[in-house]
Amino acid sequence: MGKLKLIIQREFIAKVRNKSFIVMTFLSPIIMVGMGALVYFLMKKNDEKVKKIVYVDNSGMFSKEDFKDSKTIHYTDYTALGIEETKKKVEAGNYYGALLIPKQDSLEILAKSIEFYSKDTPGMSFMNTIENKIEQKIRNEKLTNFGIDLGKIKASKINTDIKMYNFSGEESSKLINGLKIGVGAIAGYFLMMFVMIYGTSVMRSVIEEKTSRIIEVIVSSVKPFQLMLGKIIGNASAGLLQFFIWGVLLFVIITIASSIFGIDMMEMQSSRVPAEQMDAIKQTASGDKGQLIIQEILRLPILKLFVLFIFYFLGGYMLYSSMFAAVGAAVDNETDTQQFMLPIMLPLILGVYVGFATVINDPHGPISVAFSYIPFTSPIVMLMRVPFGVSWYELAISMTLLLITFVFMVWLAAKIYRVGILMYGKKPSYKDLYKWLKYKG
Q: Are residues 371 and 322 in the same domain?
A: yes
Q: Per the domain annotation, does 39 fall within a domain?
A: no
Q: Per the domain annotation, does 2 fall within a domain?
A: no
- Orientation of helix 366-373 relative to helix 338-354, angle to 10°: 140
Range of the domain at 127: 49-151
Q: Per the domain annotation, does 215 fall within a domain?
A: yes
Count of the separate structural domains present in the chain: 2
Q: Are residues 219 and 79 in the same domain?
A: no
- Quote the CA–CA distance of 195 and 348 in Å, as a whole number: 9
Average pLDDT over residues 334-353: 84
Q: Are residues 307 and 209 in the same domain?
A: yes
Q: State pLDDT tens for residues 209-262.
A: 777 666 666 666 777 777 777 888 887 788 778 878 887 887 787 777 667 655
Q: Is residue 397 predicted with pLDDT exceeding 90?
A: yes
Q: Is residue 401 predicted with pLDDT exceeding 90?
A: yes
Q: Are residues 336 and 383 in the same domain?
A: yes
Q: Are residues 129 and 202 in the same domain?
A: no
- Orientation of helix 174-211 relative to helix 224-261, angle to 10°: 130
Average pLDDT over residues 23-47: 79
- Quote the CA–CA distance of 409 and 326 in Å, as a whole number: 10
Is residue 215 classed as helix, strand or coil in its secondary structure?
helix
Q: Per the domain annotation, does 124 fall within a domain?
A: yes
Q: Per the domain annotation, does 35 fall within a domain?
A: no
Q: Are residues 144 and 185 in the same domain?
A: no
Q: Are residues 107 and 244 in the same domain?
A: no
Domain boundary among 151, 170, 193: 151
Q: State pLDDT tens for residues 270-323.
A: 444 444 444 444 454 444 555 555 565 666 667 777 888 888 888 888 888 888
Q: Per the domain annotation, does 168 fall within a domain?
A: no
Is residue 98 classed as helix, strand or coil in its secondary structure?
strand
Residues 6+ apart with CB under 8 A from 87: 98, 117
Q: Are residues 204 and 339 in the same domain?
A: yes
Domain boundary among 134, 151, 168: 151
Nearest 5°: the CA angle 358, 360, 365 is 45
Q: Are residues 190 and 303 in the same domain?
A: yes
Q: Are residues 199 and 262 in the same domain?
A: yes
Q: Per the domain annotation, does 352 fall within a domain?
A: yes
Q: Are residues 230 and 143 in the same domain?
A: no
Q: Are residues 118 and 263 in the same domain?
A: no
CATH number at residue 63: 3.40.190.10
- Quote the CA–CA distance of 431 and 81 in Å, as a whole number: 77
Q: Per the domain annotation, does 21 fall within a domain?
A: no
CA-nearest of 193, 183, 184 to 316 is 193
